[in-house]
Amino acid sequence: MKIHEYQAKQILSRYNIPVQKGEVASSPEEARELAKNIGGMVVVKAQVHAGGRGKAGGVKLAKTPDEAEEKAQAILGMNIKGSTVRRVLVTQAADIAKEFYLGVIIDRGAKGITLMGSSEGGVEIEEVAKTNPEKIIRVTADPFLGLGDFQARELAFGMGIAKDKINGFVTIAKELYRAFVENDADILEINPLILNDKGDWQALDAKMVYDDNALYRHREAEDMRDLGEEDQAEIEARKAGLSYVKLDGNIGCVVNGAGLAMATMDTLLLYGGEPANFLDIGGGAKADKVAAAIRIILSEPNVKAILFNIFGGITRGDDVAKGIIAGLEQIKTDVPIVIRLVGTNSEEGRKILEEANLKSAETLAEAAQKVVNVAKERS
């Protein structure tokens, strides 16, 4: 789950990482009031989940409250990479002496949590990685001992940080690591992390993504969810208790079990098809869940066919078949559906499906080929 800059900064300040004073406004008048209270030069910043707001014109300096109102007027309602700006952060402006990058990620390659630092802050780090990969310094924390002071110093040396600024940097790097671990983040980055004209460290921007699988440990984080920024289908899937990930293909998949869902996508690809999604409806196939799954899949207009791959374990195949039929009654569609049903009472289940004129199959290979063919005919 992504959160906004102002929310990530609230978390950073709990870890004593210096951020500028600021508050969010949802109207130009409010922005003006905030600017007046802050006093002096402010920055008005679009709060959307997309990065690169600066380049898109979503970050503007303002010298006076009047100007802050004007800039907020221009930024509110702006569309940045598909997100509409509904709120702006109005914050004290900093005088930048030097911009750095500092980020923490789950590093699958290194099998650990890696801190990345660069002297090339401000620009997108992906760009630096492409053009100047040697400018990105990495250290991987020990899973048991955490991030050592020596590792934070190694980062600082590699980033060319002046001697008298290293202790301050080490504190920030260690606290950022602690914030990452304690909040179960997937990504936590400061870009730019600056030295201001007075020589003090400040986090000018912050980006944080929570690990969805750990959200149950961070109930307070739910309040930071911005539904306006999330995909409609994914919101509905979460409500229905389905795990759903949208993909680019045209064959919708409804599967019970994550492992089976992966195998289903592989088999579709093997026979020349392209899955439109990953979808795990969990154990069994209750009518309401089936209906929700189909509704979500069909919200993607390019879906040409749907494949059900259901394994009846504890749930019986005939119950599954009845669930599918009841679900299909809730959602009328002419998109062809192929159902592979196997396991407990699968024969009874398939008979029920055939009586309802639904295409069924016994093996995954057979089902995959059928659905790939139908999808091709309709494309």
Instruction: Tell me which residues touch ligand GDP (CB under 6 A).
Output: 43, 45, 51-54, 59, 93-94, 96, 99, 122, 191-192, 204-205
Rounded to a whole number of angstroms, the minimum distance from the CB of residue 75 to Mn ion is: 15
* Least Cβ distance, residue 48 to ligand GDP (angstroms): 9
Q: Which does 204 bind (CB under 5 to 8 A by kind): Mn ion, ligand GDP, none?
A: ligand GDP
Task: Using the rule CB under 5 A, give the single segment among 9-17, 186-194, 261-269, 314-322 that binds Mn ion.
Answer: 186-194
Q: How far is residue 113's CA from residue 141's CA, in Å, rounded to a whole number?
A: 6
Query: Which of Mn ion, ligand GDP, none interacts with 47 (beta carbon under 5 to 8 A by kind)?
Result: none
43 touches, from ligand GDP, Mn ion, none (C-beta below 5 to 8 Å by class): ligand GDP
Q: Which is nearer to Mn ion, 203 or 341 (CB)?
A: 203
Token pair 């997309």 in the structure block, residue: 50
Query: Of the residues 30, 99, 101, 177, which is catalytic?
Result: 101
Closest to ligand GDP by CB, 135 or 218: 135
Instruction: Closer to ligand GDP by CB, 53 or 138: give it.
Output: 53
Nearest to 207, CA basis, from 186, 183, 187: 187
Check if 189 is active-site: yes
Residue nearest to ligand GDP (CB): 54
- Rounded to whole angstroms, the Cα distance separating 65 from 171 reads 35
* CA–CA dist 55, 52 (Å, integer): 6
* DSSP H or E run through 106: strand 96-107
Torsion-angle region of 378 (φ positive above 0: left; ψ -120 to 50: alpha; else: beta): alpha
Q: 92 has which bridge partners?
A: 42
* Radius of gyration of the chain measured on its C-alpha atoms: 26
Provide the minimum distance between the beta carbon of 331 and ligand GDP in the complex, in angstroms, as a whole number: 40
Out of ligand GDP, Mn ion, none, what residue 103 binds, judged by CB under 5 to 8 A for its kind, is: none
- Give the residue, chosen from 5, 69, 205, 318, that forms a contact with Mn ion under the rule CB under 5 A: 205
Tokens 């192929």 belong to 338
Backbone φ/ψ region at 283: left (φ over 0), alpha (ψ -120 to 50), beta? beta
Binding Mn ion by CB under 5 A: which of 91, 183, 191, 256?
A: 191
Catalytic pick among 120, 189, 229, 244: 189
Residue 215 binding partner per list ligand GDP, Mn ion, none, with a CB distance cut-off of 5 to 8 Å that depends on partner kind: none
91 interacts with Mn ion by CB under 5 A: no
Beta pairing class for 359-361 and 201-203? unpaired
Using CB under 5 A as the binding rule, the residues of this chain from 110 to 169 that contact Mn ion are: none
93 binds, among Mn ion, ligand GDP, none (CB under 5 to 8 A by kind): ligand GDP
The question of whether 101 is a catalytic residue gets the answer yes
Distances (CA, A) of 87 to 19, 28, 190: 19, 10, 20
- Which uninterrupted H or E stretch holds 110? none
Binding flag, residue 69, Mn ion (CB under 5 A):
no
Q: Cα 360 from chain centroid?
A: 36
CA atoms of 86 and 31, how far apart (whole Å): 12
Nearest to 2 by CA among 175, 154, 226, 176: 226
Binding site for Mn ion (CB under 5 A): 191, 205
Catalytic residues: 101, 189
